[in-house]
Amino acid sequence: MWRDVGEGAVALCEAPACVQAVVVVKKRVDVPAAPFFKDRTQPLLIQTSALDRLRTFARAEGMTMRNVDIASAGSAMDVIVGLKAVLPVPAWCGSSWDSFDDAFEEIRSGLKFPEILVLWGGLTCWSRNQHVFLQTVLMLATLSDAFSSAGDQFTVVYAADSWGD
């Protein structure tokens, strides 16, 4: 269990003697589920009608919002090319998830946290290539978790009016 140990740091465990990790949290913004998200668990779906409110909230909280459209993505490479257009990815980074993962520290050092990444066209991507969409959701959830473990907030949301149900 993570617990606050003061001065923007959290520790993993209950007793000070068993501290396994200390992470300095720069700034964390609690983005309320209502009125933005349909559910509070990943992947986060935001209705397109709520995006302007989220943008206003994010601006007021000092958050950076970035947008990527994955509707035409036919491969992981297409998704990563879109991400490279909006994130500070180093020039040496290839167009695979492994290469993207290798560039984590450089990407992290170029971001101004907290961040929100809005993905558009998820349902279109799903209808064209379910594997690419599922891989994108899993890899971006992993990326978000890695930023969180490093003390940074990187929230990924999917813009659509529903998951298609």
- pTM, whole model, 2 decimals? 0.81
Cα distances (angstroms) measured from residue 2 to each of 11, 38, 91, 139: 5, 26, 36, 23
Strands 64-69 and 115-120: parallel
Is residue 60 situated within a structural domain?
Answer: yes
Decide if 44 is inside a domain.
yes
20 shares a domain with 46: no
pLDDT of residue 163: 81
Domain around 82: 31-159
Task: Write down the pLDDT at residue 90.
Answer: 96
Query: How many distinct structural domains can be found in the chain?
Result: 2
Predicted confidence at residue 76, as pLDDT, reads: 94
Do residues 36 and 159 touch, judged by C-beta distance below 8 A?
Answer: no
- Low-confidence stretches of the chain (pLDDT < 50) are 1-5, 7, 9-13, 18-19, 21-25
Q: What is the 3-state secondary structure (H, E, C) of the chain?
A: CEEEEECCEEEECCCHHHCCCEEECCCCCCCCHHHHECCCCCCEEECHHHHHHHHHHHHHCCCEEEEEECCCCCCHHHHHHHHHHHCCCCCCCCCCHHHHHHCHHHHHHHCCCCEEEEEECHHHHHHHCHHHHHHHHHHHHHHHHHHHHCCCCEEEEEECCCCCC
On whether the CB atoms of residues 97 and 135 are closer than 8 A, the answer is: yes
Looking at the structure, tell me whether residues 110 and 143 fall in a common domain: yes
Is residue 58 located within the same domain as residue 135? yes
Are 12 and 93 part of one and the same domain? no
Span 15-52, pLDDT tens digits: 555 445 444 445 678 776 667 777 777 788 888 988 99
